[in-house]
Amino acid sequence: MGTGVDVVRGEERLRGRLSPLRRRLLEELREPASASELAARLGEGRQRVNYHLRELEKGGLVELVELRPRRGFTERVLRATAGAVVVAPEVAGDLTGVAQDRYAVDMLLASAARTLGDVAAMREHADAAGKRLITFTVEAEVGFERPADIERFAEELAARVAELAEKYDSPRRRYRIVVGGYPARTPSKEG
């Protein structure tokens, strides 16, 4: 199985491909399996499972890894092509016109969606050219005493990022820097 993230960018790859059964098949195909094996595990008919596997294969979400002779026919063994699948924002909507309020949830979501779409397109282009896409990610978790501290932190962080941008700015290799913050998810006490 691929360990990366597959970004579905074309509507034709998405159409009907992520139904509940197909999502279960993708989960099961983290390890290679045949339609017969999957049908037995999921309590579904082999023909139904095989149909859905072919549709997932058409969309590039699963790939053939082995052909095995089995009782007079050839059994196809498949696996998921990526560890996770996300849908690029342009498949389902338009991000223009989202408010530019730094504290708005929609602004953070739109920025993350644009980043997803841009990086996915650049990764495809780099892969096609046989080149490496150079990126970086910075993540941190911080606790705030009071809500007002969040605003002060955001203002100070913006000022420091602006200072660094000015210090390193060059017309040669342009990079978009995106910084956002949201409440950290706490582990469920049930699990």
**Residues 70 and 106 both lie in one domain:** no
pLDDT, residue 146, reads 95
Split into its structural domains, the chain has a count of 2
CB 37 within 8 A of CB 118: no
Q: Would 188 be classed as within a structural domain? A: no
**Residues 64 and 122 both lie in one domain:** no
Across 57-131, where does the E strand assignment appear?
62-70, 73-80, 84-87
**Residues 10 and 80 both lie in one domain:** yes
Q: Would 149 be classed as within a structural domain? A: yes
Q: CA 144, 190, 3: angle at the middle one, nearest 5?
A: 80
Per residue in 125-174, pLDDT tens?
999 999 999 999 999 999 999 999 999 999 999 999 999 999 999 998 89
pLDDT, residue 32, reads 95
> Directed axis angle between helix 35-42 and helix 20-28, to 10°?
110
CA distances from 9 to 46, 79, 109, 142 (A): 30, 20, 17, 33
Residue that is written with structure tokens 């790939």 in the block: 63
Q: Is a pLDDT exceeding 90 seen at residue 50?
A: yes
Model's pTM, two decimal places? 0.62
Give the residue numbers spanning the domain of 76. Answer: 5-85
User: In whole angstroms, what is the distance from residue 114 CA to residue 116 CA?
Assistant: 5
